[in-house]
Amino acid sequence: MTDRNAILFLLVISALHGLYNTSMQLYEDEAFYWLWSTRLQLSYYDHPPMIAYLIKLFTLFGDSEFFVRLAAVACMSISSWYVFLLSKEVFSNDVAWLTLVTSALLPATFMGYTIITPDAPLILFWSTSTYYCYKALFNDRWSNYILAGLHLGCLMLSKYTSVLFLAFLVLFILIKMPKSLLNPKAWTAILISFVLFSPVIIWNYQHDWISFVFQYSHGTTSEFTIHPGKFFEFFGGLFALFTPIFFSILLYGTFKYRNWFFDNKRFYIVLSYLFPLLFFLYKALFKKMELNWAAIAFIPGVILFAYTVVHYKLWKLYKAGAVISVLLTMVLLFPSLFFLPPSLNIQDRISGYKEAIAHIQQYIAEDDVLYSDRYYRAALFTYYTEGHPRSYIPTPSTYRPFFSLEKTKDFRAMPGIYYSKIDMINELKVLFNHAELLERLTISKKGFTEKVFYIYRCN
């Protein structure tokens, strides 16, 4: 149970997940974020730019699904390492190792290793920020404050949800260490973090604060009508996210461990887990909350969970929970082995696109432009077409403003191939001088929903 073996453990886990990732085509949003990485900006409409920068870094070695998702593998493994270090510092080596092993068993961890989204850098820098802010507050060294500022800046560049970490940190300092507000080292860390975040502010200033406005409206509601169904759907989903027995143990530890408020170091861990969790539970009363948004709460939450198991000797219950967690993870990894219907197969949503785009290649002439009806289908069209030519969305769509350039294009002068999942012939005839249905393509795969694609030539 040494640090060296913990690193070896993470390397093995990383290798297994990396190997698995080669077997899956890209999800819709993954292709979209990959597209960002081919056109780097200071920020983007949906999120800050860290996801694009990381994908760009790892795809310098190749642009296959393996390299696109290598960013997710790196983020999850490094995050696990820092959670291991923090749990050992606050509690013990036994707790740290149980934290590490438990994290590897969770189905949510598998999803984090497999799908590259802004949640990957968010989880990474939430973990590193939790560690370095802890070191800064309790060791009061310049090096730790500088590192805390750097990682906080990277956290803010990852996803706007990072504001919850800043809120937790301020709340902890006000309750436990108010004198830290007079520490010049702390203000230096704050300055460093905001300098790193400044490109996002500049980009939003240049684009009428569109990203801030979009994300605020996306995560909030002006109506304060309580919806119990949405709340219990979200609360019940947390048992699936952390698995039923494990989440029950975590809740038990939260209420059983009554002295955590009087131990500053342990209070830091508990508050960093409870603050985002209670925030999303509160928001779930009024608006549908996505489960992946709450994943950040379980970064420090798994430390409290591991301490609860070790301190109260809940080993039999832990073993039962581990079995359930492994089974759920195996179902996610290999859904076809469990004969799941397509509605329960997480891979069903992406099946068929790669095959459809490969089939479409026979229709694409040298000067043809690629067209589609949705931003994610357009991104997949670009990714899976040789040479990665840019794709466009000429028809009315809920496309993201990343494609806003298309409003100025004269598509009548740009002949090409258009594909969609619904019949768009009438819309295309209005937009272009001529539109012709080339094929109604059906992709059938055992264990997956049958997918139908419409392929048109427009000129």
Q: Which residues pair with 443 in a beta bridge?
A: 451
Q: What is the pLDDT of residues 60-89, one digit of tens each?
A: 989 999 999 999 999 999 999 999 999 999
CA atoms within 13 A on the CB side of 155: 28
- The per-residue pLDDT for 400 is 55
Going by C-beta distance under 8 Å and a sequence separation of 6 or more, which residues neighbour residue 19?
none
Alpha-carbon distance 249 to 83, whole Å?
A: 19
Asked whether the predicted pLDDT for residue 350 surpasses 90, the reply is no
Where b means 16+ CB within 10 Å and e means fewer, 193-212 reads beebbeebeebbeebeeebe
Closest CA to 122 of 94, 97, 91, 154: 154
CB distance 266 to 260 below 8 Å:
yes
Give me the percent of the chain exceeding a pLDDT of 90: 66
Closest CA to 157 of 250, 63, 51, 58: 51
Q: How confident is the model at residue 412 (pLDDT cuts 50, 70, 90)?
A: confident
Q: Which residues pair with 2 in a beta bridge?
A: none
CA distances from 127 to 42, 104, 159, 266, 338 (A): 24, 15, 14, 16, 34
Amino acid at 188: T
Which pTM value belongs to this model?
0.92
Alpha-carbon distance 151 to 381, whole Å?
A: 35
Three-state SS at 367: coil
State phi, psi for 416 to the nearest 5 degrees: 180, -170
What does the DSSP assignment read for 188-222?
HHHHHHHHHHHHHHHHHHHTTTHHHHHHHHHH--S
Which has more pLDDT, 233 or 169? 169
Asked whether the predicted pLDDT for residue 222 surpasses 80, the reply is no
Alpha-carbon distance 185 to 20, whole Å?
A: 44
Asked whether the predicted pLDDT for residue 405 surpasses 50, the reply is no
In this structure, the strands spanning 391-392 and 416-420 are: unpaired
Going by C-beta distance under 8 Å and a sequence separation of 6 or more, which residues neighbour residue 376?
28, 29, 31, 32
In this predicted structure, which of 79-88, 228-237, 408-417 has the lowest mean pLDDT?
A: 408-417
Report, as an integer, the average pLDDT of 293-316: 94
Report, as an integer, the average pLDDT of 313-318: 95
- The per-residue pLDDT for 359 is 95
Alpha-carbon distance 393 to 403, whole Å?
A: 8
- The per-residue pLDDT for 275 is 95
Closest CA to 454 of 339, 371, 396, 376: 371
Residue carrying the six token digits 């249905």: 437
Q: How confident is the model at residue 396 (pLDDT cuts 50, 70, 90)?
A: confident
Domain ranges of the chain: 3-333, 353-458
CA distances from 406 to 150, 197, 381, 383 (A): 37, 29, 16, 19
Alpha-carbon distance 341 to 348, whole Å?
A: 9
Alpha-carbon distance 28 to 353, whole Å?
A: 9
- The per-residue pLDDT for 376 is 87
Asked whether the predicted pLDDT for residue 245 surpasses 90, the reply is yes
CB distance 30 to 117 below 8 Å:
yes
- The per-residue pLDDT for 220 is 65
Q: What is the pLDDT of residues 18-39, one digit of tens each?
A: 999 998 899 889 999 999 999 9
- The per-residue pLDDT for 452 is 93
In this predicted structure, which of 187-201, 206-220, 395-409 has the lowest mean pLDDT?
A: 395-409
Alpha-carbon distance 100 to 310, whole Å?
A: 13
Residues in the chain: 459
Q: What is the pLDDT of residues 262-292, one digit of tens each?
A: 889 999 999 999 999 999 999 888 888 888 8
- The per-residue pLDDT for 231 is 87
Alpha-carbon distance 68 to 50, whole Å?
A: 14
Going by C-beta distance under 8 Å and a sequence separation of 6 or more, which residues neighbour residue 7?
81
Alpha-carbon distance 295 to 288, whole Å?
A: 15
CB distance 117 to 70 below 8 Å:
no
Cα–Cα–Cα angle for 423, 426, 430, rounded to 5 degrees: 140
Q: What is the pLDDT of residues 41-61, one digit of tens each?
A: 999 988 999 999 999 999 998
Alpha-carbon distance 348 to 443, whole Å?
A: 12
Alpha-carbon distance 128 to 157, whole Å?
A: 14
